[in-house]
């Protein structure tokens, strides 16, 4: 099926486009989640002025605990700057190594190998088709016109968190293995949204580019509806 002709509008490239990327090949995923209580232990060594032998007093070390942490949850929806609320489905990779993006353009896929809502590190990768000949243009087509500082709201069963857009990049077709920051569960906390971008060339397999929007948290995850 050939998608409907894309809207011909110029893309604002906020950061330098990296060469060689499309297929959402996120093959092997490492899920190394930090344990909230296991931050490490440091023995505090003190000494009292009254101690005649002047031997140090060793205080028993206790693991540090993060305050205000929440239990991470699978994201269930994302509200785009346009106001559209897009349901999220948990997806993995297909046998050919491509991300199994939902066929329904009204839904997006959350890559289960990435970060969840409430995780302190890493990328939450969301991807959806831009359009379809039978369904028309999807809500993720709005990513092609996102502006800096526009807001996204990601929600789970009991949490929500707001992110602001910091960059929009146009990436060529190819393996994402050279761009692990798009899906890695490590590094700074970020939201990454991906969809296809023009030109559409049927003889070369369809869309030739990806548009990638990166956003960072405005605040920590909160309980209740956003």
Q: What is the pLDDT of residues 15-60, one digit of tens each?
A: 333 333 333 333 323 322 232 332 222 222 223 333 444 444 444 4
User: How high is the pLDDT of residue 87?
Assistant: 98
Domain annotation covers residue 44: no
Domain annotation covers residue 56: no
Quick: pLDDT tens for 58-89.
444 454 444 457 899 999 999 999 999 999 99
Domain annotation covers residue 140: yes
In the predicted model, is pLDDT for residue 174 greater than 50?
A: yes
The percent of residues in the chain predicted with pLDDT above 70, rounded, is 66
The total of structural domains in the chain comes to 1
- For residue 212, the enclosing domain spans 86-223
CATH number at residue 159: 2.40.260.10
Mean pLDDT of the chain, nearest integer: 75
Tokens 């030739």, residue located? 208
Provide mean pLDDT across the span 125-142. 95
Domain annotation covers residue 174: yes
Domain annotation covers residue 145: yes
Provide mean pLDDT across the span 7-12. 36
Buried residues in 180-213 as b, exposed as e (16+ CB within 10 A): eebbbbeeebbbbbbbbbbebeeeeeebebbbbb
Asked if residue 206 lies in contact with residue 22, where contact means CB atoms within 8 angstroms, the answer is: no
Domain annotation covers residue 147: yes
Domain annotation covers residue 77: no
Q: What is the pTM of this model?
A: 0.69
Domain annotation covers residue 213: yes
């Amino acid at each position: 099926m050939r998608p409907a002709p894309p809207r011909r509008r110029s893309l604002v490239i906020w950061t330098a486009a990296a060469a060689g990327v499309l297929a959402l090949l996120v093959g092997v995923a490492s899920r190394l989640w930090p344990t909230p209580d296991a931050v490490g232990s440091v023995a505090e060594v003190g000494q009292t002025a009254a101690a005649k032998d002047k031997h140090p007093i060793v205080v028993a070390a206790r693991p540090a605990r993060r305050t205000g942490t929440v239990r991470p949850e699978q994201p269930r929806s994302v509200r785009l700057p346009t106001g559209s609320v897009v349901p999220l489905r948990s997806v993995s990779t297909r046998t050919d190594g491509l991300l199994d993006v939902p066929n329904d353009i009204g839904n997006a896929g959350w890559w289960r190998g990435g970060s969840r809502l409430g995780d302190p590190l890493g990328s939450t990768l969301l991807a959806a088709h831009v359009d379809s000949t039978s369904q028309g243009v999807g809500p993720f087509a709005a990513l092609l016109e996102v502006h800096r500082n526009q807001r996204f709201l990601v929600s789970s069963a009991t949490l929500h968190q707001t992110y602001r857009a910091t960059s929009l990049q146009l990436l060529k077709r190819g393996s994402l293995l050279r761009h692990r920051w798009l899906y890695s569960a490590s590094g700074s906390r970020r939201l990454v949204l991906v969809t296809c971008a023009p030109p559409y060339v049927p003889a070369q397999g369809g869309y030739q580019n990806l548009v990638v929007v990166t956003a960072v948290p405005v605040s920590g995850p909160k309980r209740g509806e956003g």
